[in-house]
Every structure is written in C-alpha cells, then in structure tokens.
Structure 1
Amino acid sequence: MPRFYRLKEIIGDRKKGISPIIPVSRASWYAGIKAGKYPKPIRLSKRTVAWREDDIKTLCEKLSEGVV
C-alpha cells in the first residue's frame, strides 16, 4: 500500500512541532504546484488531499541536485 503525505508533513507545522521535509510556505507550495514545479495532490476523499511518498522523494532528489 502506498504511503501518502499530508501538506503539514511536507511543509511542516511549528505549532505541532512537525519539521518540514520541504521548507516553504503554504502559498509557495501551491504556487509551485500551479507552476508545475511541485507534484499535484491526490484526492483521498471529498475534503482530503495528499501527495504520494514517491513523488515527494523524487522532488527532494531534484531539489538537492538543483534541477527544480
């Protein structure tokens, strides 16, 4: 079964003590999705979206290589 990340797991949440995987703001994250820089979310239910673990890992690799 594939693993999914919710937005707060990706960009972090200081109030809940969640460290970011990719330290950007919520607005920057969604602007990056719109620009094609970041992966699009998957709808898990009517009000819930998440991102595939593989997509986030691939993005992290590209960011570390300076490709994105």
Structure 2
Amino acid sequence: MALSTLPETGFLRLPHIIGNPKASPPIPALIPVSKTTWWQGVKTGRFPKAVKLGERTTVWRIEDIRAYIDSQGGGQ
C-alpha cells in the first residue's frame, strides 16, 4: 500500500507499515525497518505511539504514520 493510496484517516496494522514480502500478495513497506527496530523505535519515541484496540490488536493512526514519513522527508 503506497502512501498516496492510504485513506486520510484510519488505522494500520504493523505489516502494512513495515511490509511483509511473504504475504500473498506481498505487502510493500511504508517504513522499511525490521519488526525489532520498529518496536524499539516505538518504545523510545522515534516512531509513532501504538493504539491498543484489544488484547491482541495493536494499530497505528494513519495520520501519525503520514506525519512521521513527512517529517523524514519521504512524503513527496
């Protein structure tokens, strides 16, 4: 899912942010980092804060992901 095709608001699960080449069809990364790097970055505040929707459901606001990518100069 390319940044330009994302809706303005909503939520993304982790595979839609960091990608999943083994999915069918493969999911391209919006932010190409490993799962471990992502979670370390969330913990330290480098990446946007997660939202818990349930015990086993963690998502990120699309607005926060867009803002992060724009802040890194990748939103063009």
TM-score between the two structures when normalised by the length of structure 2: 0.79
TM alignment of 1:1-68, pairs within 5 A: 2-16=9-23, 17-64=26-73
**Percent identity, aligned pairs only?**
39
Secondary structure in 2 matching 1:21: coil
The structure where helix makes up a greater share of residues is 1
Secondary structure in 2 matching 1:58: helix
Structure 1: runs of 5+ lacking an equivalent: none
Q: Give the Å deviation of 1:63.
A: 1.2
Secondary structure in 2 matching 1:64: coil
Secondary structure in 1 matching 2:16: helix
Q: Give the Å deviation of 1:29.
A: 0.4
The root-mean-square deviation of aligned C-alpha atoms, in Å, is 1.1
TM-score between the two structures when normalised by the length of structure 1: 0.88
Q: Give the Å deviation of 1:64.
A: 1.3
> Given residue 49 of structure 1, which amino acid in structure 2 is its aligned partner?
T
Structure 2: runs of 5+ lacking an equivalent: 1-8
Quick one: distance in 2 between partners of 1:13 and 1:37? Answer: 21
Q: Give the Å deviation of 1:19.
A: 0.1
